[in-house]
Amino acid sequence: MEVHVTHRPTRRSLLLSAAALAVTAGPLATTARAAAKTPKVLVIGLDGALLTRIKDADAPNLDALMAAGLTAPSTIYANPLAPTMSGPGWSTLITGVWPDKHNVRDNAFTGHRFAQYPDFLTRIETAAPSRTTYAVSSWAPITDTVFSAAVDTRVSTPSAEYDTGTTSRAVDRLGNGNPDAVFVQLDNIDHAGHDHGAASSQYRAAIHTADAQVGRMVAAVKSRPSYGAEDWLIMITADHGHTDAGGHGGSTLPERSTFLIATGPTLAAGSVRYDVKMPDVAASALAHLGIAIDPAWNLDGRPVQQPRPDDFDALRPKLTARTDETGIPAGVLGHTHTPPAGWTVDNSAMGTGGVAEWRGWTFTTDEFWTSAQRDQSRESNIRARNVFAVADGDEWYDKPVTGTFDSTLVSPAYPVTGGRTATLTYTTYYRHESPQKGEVLVSYDGAAPVSVRTYTADVPSRTETVTLQVPSGARTARVRFRYSGGNNWYWVIDGVALTGS
């Protein structure tokens, strides 16, 4: 099936011309625009591709892109949020929100919320209708269902042509057209994974073929007569991974694995980051094209060009291997009890014994923590990034203990202004079982802590915002996250910030 949708000329005629905008903005803006390059975006999705297998395969074009820019390994969800399937995966990448928002839970797309959370090409068309958008895919539901009719051109490649046809169409549009934002999906790596497994030579051969197809698209971009005046952000990603034996949909790390390879402005050559997540693809495309991300859109993604420093992420070089958790691969470095500068952990009320990795608040990663015990919803901790803090009474109790789990994570002293309000934000994920309790407390200038939020029921992964009324005369505030309970569940904290008004 091939679908072409082009906006009516009358819609574009409503826009001010670039010259008129320049006159309106003044001579300084005109000079800046004349010196600036035209931003453009190319997103290529490799269905079912594993970054580890790309590195094993003969993939010179992907290797060159990694050397020239950013490589960001990442993980996704599993059930009960959504299975590791193409429908939820592509919907997350293309809309910039996780499945709990776009509501795609399988490949049927039943109950999707694309009207509320549209694809990034539709957002481009809405914000800047003069931009030209193009999407082509080997898996038809992407261009038939996920991308809306607002996109200028959507092409579902006939099955007889498969990735060969998808590549040829993309190369032609990139080389001979003038698109501003392009999305391409190639399917054969996933096909090889299902038929032969991710550990097979056929899977590596499929990566080699896709690599050559990626190379043709990149070459088409660079051969454009106007390339020297253009500023391209190129992103390569995947919707999910595969098991060695073949297949996906479950909760193993290979099935949950994805990645982003990106080249573009501000992305350092040969850089590696661990704070990038699937929804960032859509947000990065919008940001590169100069489209302001409206907070009302409620996106989960954030532009990779605008990294946000986080205290816990600074601990990655200090992470160590397992001690008691023999189910975690020995080579995975993923936990420490040493807090970042300015932070402390108060274990004065903490019991003794238990599993060493989880005694009190622990700083860990998704790869390490979910490997401790799969299928207990740890995989739904989707909004924490890179290194995060977790209090996990469930895992701590897997060896004999004395006493109970009672540990408090204490922040640095943040500056505040007495008599004014301040805003506390943090990412949280809390799974509850009585008598467990999570409590957020704030103390001003060393005074007794005051409770500002209590958790006694399940809370899905989300960002919390708490408005604080700072006492008159106060100059600093410390935040405490106290988790107490028995052999219950867990609490995750990440991205803590306290700002004044």
CATH code for the domain in which residue 477 is found: 2.60.120.260
Determine the Cα–Cα distance for residues 81 and 105; give it in Å rounded to an integer.
8
- Domain assignment of residue 485, given as a range: 312-500
In a domain, 51, yes or no: yes
User: Is 34 part of any domain?
Assistant: no
- Residue 460 has a CB neighbour count (10 Å cut-off) of 16
Q: Are residues 347 and 442 in the same domain?
A: yes
CATH code: domain of residue 97: 3.40.720.10
Rg of the chain over Cα atoms, rounded to whole angstroms, equals 24
Give the end of a domain, one of 248, 267, 297.
297
338 part of a folded domain:
yes
Are 249 and 331 within one domain? no
Residue 1 included in any domain = no
Report helix, strand or coil for 448.
Answer: coil
Instruction: Point out the domain boundary residue: 264, 297, 330.
Output: 297
248: in domain: yes
CA 283, 288, 294, 297 torsion-angle sign? negative
**Peptide linkage before 80 cis (omega within 30 of 0):** yes
359 and 284, same domain (yes or no): no
Residue 350 shares a structural domain with residue 407: yes
Supply the pLDDT for residue 501. Answer: 63
pLDDT profile of the chain (501 residues), mean per 10? 37 30 32 68 98 97 98 98 98 98 97 98 98 98 98 96 97 97 98 98 98 98 97 98 97 98 96 98 98 97 96 98 95 97 98 98 98 97 98 97 97 97 98 97 97 98 98 97 97 96 63
Name residue 73's beta-bridge partners: 259
Are 416 and 318 found together in one domain?
A: yes
Cα-Cα end-to-end distance for the chain? 54
**Is residue 282 located within the same domain as residue 336?**
no
Q: Mention every residue, 6+ apart, whose C-beta is less than 8 A from residue 470.
A: 416, 417, 418, 419, 420, 421, 422, 444, 477, 500
Distance CA 495, CA 229 (A): 38
User: Between 162-176 and 201-222, two packed helices, what is the crossing angle to 10 degrees?
Assistant: 20
Write down which residue in 297, 325, 340 finishes a domain: 297
CA distances from 122 to 6, 86, 134, 382, 451 (A): 12, 20, 10, 25, 44
Query: Rounded CA gap, 369 and 461, in Å?
Result: 15
Residue 325 and residue 291 share a domain: no
Taking the CA of residue 243 as centre, how many other CA atoms within 13 Å lie in the half-sphere pointing to its CB?
A: 12
- Judgement on whether residues 330 and 237 belong to the same structural domain of the protein: no
Does residue 83 sit in the same domain as residue 126? yes
DSSP, res 315: G
Q: Are 460 and 496 in contact (CB under 8 A)?
A: no
224's enclosing H/E stretch is: none
Are residues 181 and 328 part of one domain?
A: no
> Which regions of 86-193 does DSSP assign to beta strands (E)?
133-137, 153-156, 181-186
Paired residues of 444 in beta bridges: 477
Q: Is residue 466 part of a domain?
A: yes
pTM of the model: 0.91
Do 167 and 273 fall into the same domain?
Answer: yes
Domain check: are 112 and 162 in the same one?
yes
Distances (CA, A) of 136 to 4, 24, 141: 10, 37, 11
Distance of CA 466 to the CA centre of its chain: 24
Q: What's the domain count of the chain?
A: 2
Inter-residue contact 192 to 206 (CB < 8 Å): yes
Q: Would you tell me how many other CB atoms lie within 10 Å of the CB of residue 420?
A: 13
Determine, yes or no, domain membership for 394.
Answer: yes
Own/partner pairs for 125-131, CB < 8 Å, 24+ apart?
125/7, 125/150, 125/151, 125/152, 126/150, 127/286, 127/291, 127/292, 128/289, 128/291, 129/7, 129/11, 129/12, 129/14, 129/15, 130/12, 130/15, 131/180, 131/181, 131/289
Whether 275 is covered by a domain: the verdict is: yes
